[in-house]
């Protein structure tokens, strides 16, 4: 029988692995009574190892800190859900916050629309850095060695609209110039996604991404109005991150993820 300490570590490991989970899910996985699991979760929440929102638990400030993730990302986790919900309320489609981990991307936070047809990612889901609006935004602002590694490596063709290496390379200057990316069916047929960058002292810290079906999100009018909402949200988040985090290179911050990927 596991000791109380070992059980607590098992629960923490489940939270880190899943990124987002519930008491019942962890209790079932570890074969312990839900009432026992809840007592552990309550202590972890009180000590800020986890955060809780509507019955879902995610890594909190302390757990992110001991796992090696920098304060900037810890702060994004804390404020991300509220920011994304605000975007969803204004545009009516799913919004996600994406960060770079080495030569991949990861969904850090999400807020889903209430529509039956929607496009989204799982929390902590690893994504290709070369397909999808939010991912390509991160690629465009990645260090040269990361761009070279991605464009010279193997790339899956998810749909007929997935870009090849030459197309990706040609798109980078335009992305940096316009400050946004529009993706049409690069990962999922029939989807449209729009992304903008969030900067911390001149370097990208994450991308904000909104996605929905072409039938609702394909018009220039929707893209224009959604882009306005997202740019306002990105500017506010950038100001907030800069006032909250120390003056450390965001490139270092992003590369911190590669040590725990």
pLDDT of residue 3: 72
- Phi and psi dihedrals of 45, rounded to 5? -70, -45
pLDDT of residue 14: 81
Residue-by-residue pLDDT tens, the chain, 261 positions: 457 888 888 888 887 766 678 899 999 989 999 999 999 999 988 888 888 878 888 777 676 655 444 556 666 777 778 889 999 999 999 999 999 888 889 888 899 888 878 887 888 788 999 999 999 999 999 989 899 999 999 999 999 999 999 999 999 999 999 999 999 999 999 999 999 999 987 889 899 999 999 999 989 999 999 999 999 999 998 888 777 655 544 344 334 333 322
Q: Which of 109, 137, 256 is nearest to 198 (CA)?
A: 137
Is residue 15 within 8 A of residue 21, CB to CB? The reply is yes
* Domains observed in the chain: 4-65 (1.10.10.10), 91-259 (3.30.450.40)
pLDDT of residue 245: 57
pLDDT of residue 244: 65
Per-position DSSP letters for 218-261, written without gaps between them: -SHHHHHHHHHHHHHHHHHHHHHHHHHS-S--HHHHHHGGGGT-
The residues facing 104 across adjacent strands are: 101, 128
How many CB atoms within 10 Å of residue 228?
A: 12
- The torsion of the CA quartet 67, 261, 106, 204, rounded to 10 degrees, works out to 70
């Amino acid at each position: 029988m596991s000791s109380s300490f070992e059980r607590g570590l098992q629960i923490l490991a489940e939270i880190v692995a899943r990124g987002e989970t519930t008491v019942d899910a962890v209790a079932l996985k570890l074969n312990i009574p839900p009432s026992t699991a809840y007592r552990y979760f309550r202590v972890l929440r009180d000590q800020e190892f986890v955060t809780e929102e509507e019955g879902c638990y995610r890594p909190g400030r302390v757990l992110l800190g001991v796992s090696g993730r920098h304060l900037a990302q810890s702060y994004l986790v804390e404020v991300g859900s509220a920011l994304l919900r605000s975007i969803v309320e204004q545009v009516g489609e799913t919004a996600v916050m994406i960060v770079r981990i080495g030569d991949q991307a990861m969904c850090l936070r999400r807020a889903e629309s209430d529509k039956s047809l929607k496009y989204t990612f799982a929390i902590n889901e690893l994504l290709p850095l070369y397909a999808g609006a939010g991912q390509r935004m991160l690629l465009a602002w990645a260090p040269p060695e990361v761009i070279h590694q991605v464009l010279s490596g193997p790339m899956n063709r998810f749909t007929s609209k997935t870009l090849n290496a030459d197309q990706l390379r040609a798109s980078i200057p335009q992305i940096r110039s316009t400050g946004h990316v529009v993706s049409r069916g690069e990962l999922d047929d029939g989807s449209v996604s729009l992304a903008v960058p969030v900067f911390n002292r001149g370097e990208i810290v994450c991308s904000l991404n909104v996605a929905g079906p072409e039938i609702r999100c394909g018009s220039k009018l929707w893209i224009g109005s959604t882009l306005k909402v997202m740019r306002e949200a990105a500017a506010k988040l950038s100001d907030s991150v800069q006032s909250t985090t120390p003056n450390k290179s965001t490139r270092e911050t992003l590369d911190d993820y590669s040590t725990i990927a």
